[in-house]
A = this chain, B = another copy of it.
Amino acid sequence: MSELRKDPVTGRWVIISTERRKRPTDFHLEPVQIAPDPSCPFCEGHESMTPTELLAIRRDGSKPNTPGWDLRVVPNQFPVLRVEGTLDRQGEGLFDKMNGIGAHEVIIESPRHLNMLADMSDEAIERVLWAARERMQDLRQDRRFRYIIVFKNHGSAAGSSLDHSHSQLIALPIVPREVHDEVEGAKAHFDAKERCVFCDILRQETRDGQRLIAENGDIVAIAPYAPRFPFETWLLPRRHEAHFENAPRHEYASLARLMGDILRRINKTLGAPPYNLLIHTAPLGEPADEYFHWHVEIMPKLTKVAGFEWATGFYVNPTSPEEAAQVLRDARG
């Protein structure tokens, strides 16, 4: 029989459907493939095709905006928000608006067009995490910003419009609603129990083991109890910390190792599916230190999400997290 399960942070209920049960081989997917593109703006040698770089990790002391880099961060050429200007809040009768102030940056994860994150070295993945940290540390100085989102869309079905491996960073003058709900849920748990809900989850999942996928000294990978999507995976640091950008260096190294490992297990068992990857960190300028706990969420895109699911918040998941965890646990590279 199907089960209704409640996410202990957000309070969101999901249905784990047994009638529509799906094992890894039941998903009919096209593996993500990278098409060669001689005019790709993210390739080494094409530096002039992007806006001026904000950050680069260079092998050889080469000059900015020239070849010789391992990773670059540049402003998005078609930003959803612009960094210039003063934040201007206005009413319009019943309605509220503000001008589109923010930052929208691209982390180009490799100089090579055909490199996918899952196949990169641990060091290369760590560079991506470190670049995100550096940009977050810089952008949080800007008091107009309330939240910084870092995310990766892999494959066009996951929303990516350029094949060359990249992540995006958006700094916002507001806290997005899903983040707000997650933070409020964590706060309510803390108010009731004086414990971090994510620390509680870590304790229960590492002891129980059913939904544990893999772990190392700093980071634990689990299938969450009430996942919206098949094979949804969370990576959490064992040590409590609200802000991703405040983690010590060795945690990025540990996260990079486990993240590469998990992405390769997903590729191996699910046939290189499209996915979204998100860093969940605490809002800026809110006293979330005690009750929020940064983490990474990976969501393989295996099913078509019907519009009604995101409009109602009512998700049907055909693969239980216990089954997903077992499949990924057994998939050691």
Q: Which residues of A contact B (CB under 8 A)?
A: 1-6, 8, 10-13, 15, 17-20, 78-82, 85, 92-100, 149, 151, 153, 156-160, 170, 172-174, 176-181, 197, 200-201, 204, 208, 225-226, 275-276, 278, 297, 299, 301, 304-314, 316
A299 touches B311 (CB 8 A): yes
With A80-B15, A276-B307, A312-B278 as contacts: A98 and B301 at CB distance below 8 Å = no
Using CB atoms, name the residue of chain B closest to A99.
Answer: B1
Given contacts A94-B200, A157-B304, 11 further A-B contacts (CB under 8 A): A3-B98, A5-B96, A18-B100, A19-B79, A149-B308, A156-B304, A158-B306, A178-B313, A180-B313, A278-B307, A310-B310
Q: Would you list 6 pairs from A and B whose C-beta atoms are within 8 A, ordered by A residue?
A: A5-B95, A94-B197, A159-B306, A172-B314, A178-B314, A299-B311
The 10 closest A-B pairs by CB, nearest first: A159-B306, A2-B100, A276-B307, A178-B313, A177-B313, A176-B314, A151-B308, A310-B310, A6-B96, A176-B312
With A10-B177, A176-B313, A312-B278 as contacts: A3 and B99 at CB distance below 8 Å = yes
> What's the least CB distance linking A220 to chain B, in Å?
15
- The residue that A100 contacts in the complex, of B15, B197, B275, with Cβ under 8 A, is B15
A10 CA / B95 CA spacing, docked (Å): 12
Q: Is the interface of A mostly helix, strand, loop or mixed?
A: mixed
How many monomers of this chain does the complex have? Answer: 2
Residues from chain B with a CB closer than 8 A to the CB of A97 are 3-6
Residues from chain B with a CB closer than 8 A to the CB of A93 are 204, 208
With A94-B200, A278-B311 as contacts: A1 and B100 at CB distance below 8 Å = yes
A314 CA / B305 CA spacing, docked (Å): 17
Using CB atoms, name the residue of chain B closest to A170.
Answer: B314
A99 CA / B292 CA spacing, docked (Å): 30
> What's the least CB distance linking A295 to chain B, in Å?
12
Residues from chain B with a CB closer than 8 A to the CB of A208 are 93
> What's the least CB distance linking A105 to chain B, in Å?
14
